[in-house]
Amino acid sequence: MMAQYLEIKAQYPDALLFYRMGDFYEMFFDDAVAAAEALDIALTKRGKHDGDDIPMCGVPVHAAEAYLLTLIRKGFRVAVGEQLERPEEAKKRGYKAVVKRDVVRLVTPGTLTEDALLDARRHNFLAAIAAVRDDWALAWCDISTGAFHVMPLSRARIGAELARLAPSELLVSDKVDEVLRPVLEDLGMQPTVLGAASFDSGSGESRLAGVFGVQTLAGFGDFARVELSAMGALVDYLDITQKGRLPRLRPPRQEVVTRLMQIDAATRRNLELTASLQGGRAGSLLSVIDRTVTAAGARLLERRIASPSRDLAVIRERLEAVRWGVEGDGRLRDALRQVPDLDRALSRLGLERGGPRDLAAVRAALAQAEQIHAQLTEAELPALVRQAAETLTGQDALLDRLDAALVADPPLMVRDGEFIAPGFDAALDEARTLRDEGRGVIAGLQGRYAEETGIGSLKIKHNNVLGYFVETTAAHAQKMMSPPLSEQFIHRQTTANQVRFTTVELSELETRILNAGNEALQIEKRLFDTLRDAVMAVAPALSELALALAEIDLSLGLADLARARDWCLPRVDDSRAFHVEAGRHPVVEAALAGDGAPFIANDCDLSAEGDAASVTLLTGPNMAGKSTYLRQNALIALLAQMGSYVPARAAHVGLVSQIFSRVGASDDLARGRSTFMVEMVETAAILNQADDRALVILDEIGRGTATYDGLSIAWAVLEQLHAENRVRALFATHYHELTALAGKLPGVRNATVAVKEWQGEVIFLHEVRDGAADRSYGVQVAQLAGLPQPVIERARMVLDALESGERERASPKALIDDLPLFSAAALREVPPKPAETASEVESELRALNPDEMTPRDALQAIYALKTKLAQDG
């Protein structure tokens, strides 16, 4: 056995080997040590190897999925080695013959299909990057849904596209690995490296043609060699990991970069589209706007957020579908809630990993699709909904067959049996009857034999030696052994008082009764295969039906959100307009609503004349809401172009080709990048890539270096965006000197976030108004943050001196000489006036101790002080 284990393990040195032994998957040697630690299970030992104990651990087969999930999340790959025969079959080859075993599947992050291992509301993409000379392509698929896409792209776009897809596993060739390593490290991805043969474009074309059963791929699109290379690598890897049992994939869909709004990795992170800065789903835009009620609808929403469209016709079609949902009554959502995850059920069935519940999921999806189609009776449906509705019917025969074949609530596994409904198959019903009602069947046969022979005392009995037999008294024996009864009844045994017979029919019935349970299960397995084949025969049509249901769910989910949050239908056109009335940040507004606080809405106008730039310089204190204002307008543009209503009173969005965001501060210590360096890298990417259709939001450019260096960089960046990139931009800054550019550069205007000072404190109004701020209120914000009072007082002193020196153009050295910055006295509280200079009223006021006074004492003290104050003058 260990020789067999080591032989199989040698083929998968980079994976943990789950070695099936009866009801357990066992692991040995280093695999056992690593798995025991990762899974927190007991590490034992079994036998010896080279004189040393063999480490061993194991997990139950029935609970293997939970352990697989843990191992995959911790970065392991798992080779599942199954028993390919029963022990009884192995023994036929010899007493010491080992049961045949082999790996039936290699489990990796990008090849999961089980519900327990996947997030139902997210895609699980497996991607591959290929390079042919200077051409690059990215292919990706989700074997749990059948999605399959490919895209030619430039090397500079690789990071942005990977950030958009967030694949669970990325395949690269060994020659590409080193070239892409810096990009992948930025994204935190560890690729799976394959040999060059996997990326051979010629072989890839043949593999793809074989998968889809065609002579040529021309019917799917005109693919370049590099695209065939990437797609071929995906199929080759699936063949390796699935051991030749390829998943159901849709024909490859060719995507074009120019049809999607471009969003780079830094911008996705800053805008928190599908994940918050903390890394979880909570707090992201997706978490706030997701009102879908199906898993497929949720996955479609995630794709739309990640890939807003630039196709005006597509955007308007989606918006019209949402408008239809807003004006509807929402009843369809109740039917949609009953729709199971059809795509993933089809995938498991195609990989022969499905069970009766997957067939039941297909049945339920078809039934709900019929019901939804019946409710879509309006004469004027939006084009998108009308196209979806046309896909929801046409599978009546399959639905009727599944409805007749399956019980209402089938078990999870085929081996559990009892999932075929009574009356569907006569042979199965008979086997079940024999299994469950064997005594009744024997009793019926006994009655028939008694009637045929005319011997009322005839009995059918059973013992462990003869099995079932017919028994009569010795008085009737001669009759039974004489023609014509002797032709039917075969003499078996004679005792003192009884004679025993058997019949061919009784022997066959006995065998069937004894094997009825196994026979019933085998019939059910055969029927399951037949039903699965019937489903897979129409899998392409079912995939289209699943997509149609997801489309309707997404439109109604966005409509429900628009009604609940009072969002508006945006006007999207081919202009360079960008005008938002009373815009709001959807995530911040949702968070404030939970606390019962209102969100202060603000207008934004970045509409540009012709091909000129439009830039708003935003000034104001920290904590006033500048970053929120920047982000909310970027999100409004994104929501509009993904086909959603937007959080505003009104919005006019001219098509945005790219969104760039440089907001927040972070460093990259692992790569030796300071916060300022990261900021400059992101800013450089904006200046090098932004076109005149881009929307750019910048926050505090140049703050990570010396004041004049930072001001100079911010000034130059603003001029570049205005003159060369000609973008629509929001530029937040604390460099008030930049506000002078509003009077010099056409299309540049000033705006500020309003605040109000009261008794030395600052109150944030969160209102964006025209004009420029003259102060940043940094000291007041520091006080709100809880800095010690001596530090606050000292900061105010230094600030007054510096501002005074700036006005008088005093040198910095002179200011430092005038301020004892490092003196101990400077850090103490400002002492009170000497007692001799204080008035008598002040002296008495200092002597009062409010903590020890009653309200009456306090009132009397106030009267006394007021009287004395009047006497003093």
Distance CA 133, CA 137 (A): 11
The token pair at 769 is 């108004």
CATH number (domain holding residue 192): 3.30.420.110
Within a 10 A sphere around the Cβ of 60, how many other Cβ atoms? 11
* 408 within domain boundaries: no
Residue 802's domain comprises 787-827
User: DSSP secondary-structure letter at 260?
Assistant: B
pLDDT reported for residue 760: 62
Residues 6+ apart with CB under 8 A from 413: 355, 356
Q: Are residues 849 and 739 in the same domain?
A: no
pLDDT in tens, 693-706: 999 999 888 777 77
| Contact between residue 230 and residue 625 where contact means Cβ atoms under 8 Å apart | no
> Does 701 share its domain with 600?
yes
350 is in an annotated binding site: no
- Does 30 lie in the same domain as 86? yes
**Residue 625 assigned to a binding site:** yes
Among the candidates 237, 259, 281, a domain finishes at: 259
Confirm or deny that 627 is annotated as ligand binding: yes
C-alpha neighbours within 13 Å on the C-beta side of residue 454: 5
| Helix then strand then coil, % of the chain, to nearest 5 | 50, 20, 30
Q: Extract the tokens encoding 357.
A: 């519940």
Q: Is residue 332 part of a domain?
A: yes
Pair of tokens at residue 173? 């060739």
If asked whether residues 489 and 548 sit together in one domain, one would say no
CB of 727 closer than 8 Å to CB of 692:
yes
- CATH code for the domain of 351: 1.10.1420.10
Is pLDDT of 171 > 90?
Answer: yes
Q: How far is CA 320 from the centre of its chain?
A: 27
Torsion over CA: 200, 205, 210, 211 (sign): positive
Q: Is residue 531 assigned to a domain?
A: no
Strands ordered across the beta sheet of 728-732: 262-263, 658-662, 695-699, 728-732, 614-619, 748-758, 761-770
Give the integer Cα–Cα distance in Å for 799 and 843.
32
- State residue 500's pLDDT score: 92
Place of tokens 């599942």: 80
The pLDDT of residue 123? 92
- Clarify whether residues 615 and 755 are in a common domain: yes
The two structure tokens encoding residue 176: 């590409």
Q: What is the pLDDT of residue 666?
A: 59
Q: How far is CA 546 from CA 122, 328, 368, 375, 754, in A?
A: 15, 22, 11, 17, 50
Residues 482 and 430 both lie in one domain? yes
Q: Do residues 516 and 452 both lie within one domain?
A: yes
555 lies in the same domain as 580: no
Percent of the chain's residues with pLDDT above 70: 93
Residue 770 burial (C-beta neighbours within 10 Å; 0-12, 13-18, 19+): exposed
The answer to whether 622 is a known ligand-binding residue is: yes
Whether residue 815 is predicted with pLDDT greater than 80 in this model: the reply is: no
Alpha carbon 487 to its chain centroid, in Å, reads 73
* Total number of domains constituting the chain: 7
Helix/strand number for the chain, H first, E second: 32, 27
- Quick one: 634 exposed, middle or buried, by C-beta within 10 A (0-12, 13-18, 19+)? buried
Looking at residue 328, what is its pLDDT?
85
Following DSSP, what letter does each residue of 382-422 receive, concatenated?
-HHHHHHHHHS-S-HHHHHHHHHHB-SS--SSGGG---BPT
Across 411-418, average pLDDT: 88
pLDDT confidence tier of residue 531, bands split at 50, 70 and 90: very high
CATH of the domain at 6: 3.40.1170.10
Cα 101 from Cα 727, distance rounded (Å): 63
Domain match, 739 and 753 both:
yes
pLDDT at 829: 45
End-to-end alpha carbon distance in the chain: 108
Lowest pLDDT segment from 258-262, 504-508, 593-597: 593-597
User: How many other CB atoms sit within 10 Å of the CB of residue 715?
Assistant: 18
DSSP state of 700: S
Q: Give the residue with greater pLDDT, 808 vs 610.
A: 610
Mean pLDDT, to the nearest integer, of 326-330? 85
* Residues 561/414, Cβ–Cβ less than 8 Å: no
Q: What percent of the chain has pLDDT over 90?
A: 53
pLDDT of res. 384: 94
Answer yes or no: do 731 and 806 share one domain.
no
Paired residues of 785 in beta bridges: none
Q: Which pair of tokens denotes residue 472?
A: 């009569």
Q: Is 765 part of a structural domain of the chain?
A: yes
Mean pLDDT of 598-602: 93
**Tens digits of residue pLDDT in 342-371:** 999 999 999 888 999 999 999 999 999 999
Q: Among residues 28, 25, 23, 24, which one has the least CA distance to residue 3?
A: 28
In a domain, 280, yes or no: no
Last residue of a domain, one of 107, 126, 141: 107
Residue pair 120/145 in contact by the 8 Å Cβ criterion: no
- Is 620 known to sit in a ligand binding site? yes
pLDDT at 862: 86
Total number of residues shown for the chain: 873
What value, to the nearest 5°, has the Cα angle with vertex 636 and ends 632 and 638? 115
Three-state secondary structure call for residue 585? coil
Residue 814 pLDDT more than 60?
Answer: no
The region of weakest confidence among 284-298, 375-389, 504-518, 781-795 is 781-795
Residue 826 has pLDDT above 60, yes or no: no
Same domain, 632 and 749: yes
Average model confidence (pLDDT) across the chain: 88
Q: How many other C-beta atoms are found inside a 10 Å radius of the C-beta of residue 313? A: 9
Residue 407 belongs to some domain of the structure: no
- Average pLDDT over every residue of 312-334: 93
Q: Is the pLDDT of residue 824 over 80?
A: no
642 is in an annotated binding site: no
- pLDDT computed for residue 710 by the predictor: 83
- Flag whether 44 is in a domain: yes
* CA atoms within 13 A of residue 329's CA, in its CB half-sphere: 5
Taking only the tens place, the pLDDT of each residue in 52-63 is 889 999 999 988
Q: What is the mean pLDDT of residues 567-589?
A: 96
Joined together, the tokens standing for residue 307 give 């890939």
Q: At what angle do helices 438-453 and 504-537 cross, to 10 degrees?
A: 140
Domain boundary among 66, 91, 107: 107
Q: Is 626 annotated as a binding residue?
A: yes
* Alpha-carbon distances of 36 from 18, 21, 103, 714, 847, rounded to whole Å: 13, 17, 21, 55, 71
Contact criterion met (CB below 8 Å) for 790 and 829: yes
Q: How many alpha carbons lie under 13 Å from residue 705 in its C-beta half-sphere? A: 15
User: With bands split at pLDDT 50, 70 and 90, how would you rate the model's confidence at 872?
Assistant: low
pLDDT of residue 379: 66
Lowest mean pLDDT among 143-157, 187-201, 647-661, 755-769: 755-769
Q: Specify if 272 maps to a domain.
A: no
Predicted confidence band at 833 (pLDDT cuts at 50, 70, 90)? very low
* Residue 496 shares a structural domain with residue 608: no
Helix, coil or strand: residue 57: strand
Q: What is the CATH number of the domain that holds 705?
A: 3.40.50.300
Phi–psi pair at 703, nearest 5 degrees: -80, -15
| Residue 378 vs residues 57, 313, 336, 598, 645: alpha-carbon distances, Å | 62, 23, 18, 39, 22
- pLDDT confidence band for 819 (50 / 70 / 90): low
